[in-house]
Amino acid sequence: MLPAGNRLRRAPDFAAAVRGGRRAGRPALVLHLRAPAEPASLPPRVGLVVGKAVGPAVTRNRVKRRLREVMRPRLSALPPGSILVLRALPPAAAASSADLAADVDAGLARLVRR
């Protein structure tokens, strides 16, 4: 589980990251990162989007649990005040936790290095 201060909950925050942030596509995920314009003291926040195309409710919840566990140790790699949205694609249903972690690492490496 992600700490409460690091969870993204409001629809405008999701929209801001998806519309105004940078994007990195991976086989099982699309990562959207919106970094703050100026250094912020807020913690980075993460939101998950796992739609019905991924599978039935049991599968979607399993993907969400895996993504939360993958993101927890990687929060420190995000810039302070940033917003990250992970959008799961249908291949995420069959992906292992290690595959999801590799996709997240590759996507974050691409987004954070810019």
Candidate CATH numbers 3.40.50.1370, 3.30.230.10, 3.20.20.80, 3.40.50.410; the one for domain 4-112: 3.30.230.10
What's the pTM value of the predicted model, to 2 decimals?
0.90
Helices (H), 1-114: 11-20, 57-71, 97-112
pLDDT in tens, 54-109: 999 999 999 999 999 999 999 988 888 899 999 999 999 999 999 999 999 999 99
pLDDT in tens, 35-57: 887 777 889 999 999 999 999 99
Distance separating alpha carbons of residues 54 and 69, to the nearest angstrom: 18
Spell out the residues 6+ positions from residue 23 whose beta carbon is closer than 8 angstroms to its own: 30, 31, 32, 33
Domain locations in the chain as residue ranges: 4-112
